[in-house]
Every structure is written in structure tokens, then in C-alpha cells.
Amino acid sequence: MSQRLRKVVFPVAGLGTRFLPATKVVAKEMLPVLDRPLIQYAVDEAVDAGADTLVFVTNRYKHAIADYFDKAYELESKLAQSGKNDLLAIVQGTLPKHVRCVFVTQPEALGLGHAVLCARPVVGDEPFGVVLADDLIWNGKQPGALRQMTALLDGDVAGAVAVEEVPRDQTNKYGIVDTGGDASRAARMRHVVEKPKPEVAPSNLAIVGRYVLPGRIFELLEQTKPGAGGEIQLTDAIEALLGKNKVLAYRFEGTRFDCGNKLGLVKATLAMALEDPALAEATREFMASLR
Ligand code: UTP
């Protein structure tokens, strides 16, 4: 398997119910952490991993994501005319020139596995990445999580999922991995089960929103029946993959913020403000004043 990951899929067709009413009109992935939407952090991570083709699995309401990565003619010409070149560079800098975007529609929100399957005509047979933008993984100036995972691929390793330990009482929110007790940073997956109750979960090692998968996963997704929550689950297809293929559970370097819920988005915003020299001190003072 090649070390390079050309294509990365962004499933962005979920309903985002935890952010209603905002998500009536704004896709969850367009919610900002400081001045950048979640999808921008996700795209930056994919580009950092070497991707040149970004496949967005969207629904008919989510035009904002396509608009965001498109050229903004009127705004750009106004900024150029008024000599605001720094702002112009920001507006034009959402995507490097060599990267292209492809949009496919998921007609109905039938689950993450189904969303990934919708990308099959664009991805074909090659290995590809999946990034869930609501899991923001920040590793500062160091290689992003997807790049770290791509480096694991070789002839022997067919794929990798990003994992981290979660509190036992939260296993029913995640795909939970069984590594047969192997606690190494990149451990072979023996099994994976979607949203098990704490008492039956094989571990507390949870998959977070990064996957590197072989093209063969699509055949398995075709055969996957609705699972937990009545949705077609990506983890069920990965479980089927494990029979013949070596897939690693990888404890990434970086901090993950679960921006699919309100507290996670607040934490990410504060953490990013503290990273920004222009905001750090005032943010610290404000937080101290709250006590
Ligand atoms: P979530 O489980 O977070 O669901 O999906 P959601 O609809 O986005 O949000 P809530 O739970 O209602 O608040 C995980 C990821 O899978 C995508 C979502 O967009 C998100 O990135 N997804 C989920 C799809 O693209 N299609 C689906 O049918 C389901």
C-alpha cells in the first residue's frame, strides 16, 4: 500500500441535532472555533496528510460548505480594490491551489457507514481517509493525527483508526476496540463493537473521528445491515474487514475536542484562544474572573 493518502472523505450529512436551533440553517461543521469553521481545521489536517482530493458527503441543505471553499468573487474583488491584501489572503487561503473538492449527496441520513459508502464512486479502490470534522484534533505545529496514521500504512497494514481512552460509563457513545490487551501506541485490532453498554464493552478504547481505510471497505459496507440506532455503521464494516486484514488502533499524538457537543465546542474555543498570542492573556484573565 502506498504511503500517500490522496483522497479524504468528510461525512457532513448528519442532522446535528445537538446544536439545534443553529443547525436548522448552519451545518454543524460550519460552527466556528474562533475565526475558522470546524471543517477548515479538518481540511487542513487532511492536506497536511497529503490529500489532494477532498470528498464531502453532504445533504441538500448544506450548501454553505461548498460556498465556503468556493471563490468569493464579490468579496475578493472588494478587498483587492481597497488594498486589504492581508484579508484577501485569508479569504483565498481556505484551500491550497493543488487541492480539489468533490461533493456527493447522501440522500438520507442513514448512518456514518452509509455516508462513507456514498463516496465510493469518487474514491474507487484506493486507500482513503475519513475525517469527522466535529472531532477537532489539535497537535499544534506537529504532524496532524491523519498524517501520523498514514505513516503506519505498509504492505502489511491495511488501515488504521484513531483511538483514545474514554471513561467506562461512556462506552455506549463510541465504537469500542478490542486489542486483546495490547496497550501499545499502534495495536492490532481484534474486534470492534459499536456503542456497547459499559458492562459488556471489551475495553474503554474508543474510536474517534479519524480512519484510514482500504477500498475494500466499500464491498463490506454494501453488505452491512443497519446496526446500533438503526443506522448503517462504519464500525460494523470495519469489524468484517478485521477477518482478513490487519487494521491498527492508533493512540494519536494531539488533543481531541468533541465539538459535536456544546461543552466540547466551548473547550476547543478556550484552548485555541489560549494558543493565540493576541487573545491568550485576556482569555486567562476572563476565566480567572469567573471564579
Ligand atoms: P453524529 O453521530 O455526530 O450525528 O455523526 P450528527 O447528526 O452529525 O449530530 P447529532 O448527534 O444529531 O447532534 C457523526 C458524523 O457522521 C456524519 C455527521 O455529519 C458527523 O460528521 N453523518 C452521520 C453523516 O454524514 N451521515 C449520517 O447519516 C450520519
**155 CA from centroid of ligand 1 (Å):** 32
Closest protein CA for atom 4 of ligand 1: 14
Residue 230 inside a domain? The answer is yes
Cα of 17 from ligand 1 centre, angstroms: 9
Residues 6+ apart with CB under 8 A from 178: 189, 190, 191, 192, 193, 202, 203
**Predicted TM-score of the model (pTM):** 0.95
What burial class does residue 59 get, using C-beta atoms within 10 Å of its C-beta: 0-12 exposed, 13-18 middle, 19+ buried?
middle
Is residue 1 situated within a structural domain?
Answer: no
Examine residue 2 and state whether it is found in any structural domain, yes or no: no
**In ligand 1, which atom is closest to the CA atom of 11?**
25
What does the pLDDT profile of the chain (291 residues) look like in tens digits?
A: 445 799 999 999 988 999 999 998 888 999 999 999 999 999 999 999 999 999 999 987 778 899 999 999 999 999 999 999 999 999 999 999 999 999 999 999 999 999 999 999 999 999 999 999 999 999 999 999 999 999 999 889 999 999 999 999 999 999 999 999 999 999 999 999 999 999 999 999 999 999 999 999 999 999 999 888 889 999 999 999 999 999 999 999 999 999 999 999 999 999 999 999 999 999 999 999 997
Q: Contact at 8 Å (CB) between 27 and 260?
A: no
Q: Is residue 29 part of a domain?
A: yes
CB 1 within 8 A of CB 154: yes
In a domain, 54, yes or no: yes
Cα(27)–Cα(59) distance, integer angstroms: 10
Domain holding 252, by residue range, is 7-140+147-289
For the domain that residue 166 is a member of, what is the CATH number?
Answer: 3.90.550.10
**Which residue bears the cell 446535528?**
16
**Structural domains of the chain, count:** 1
* 271 found inside a domain: yes
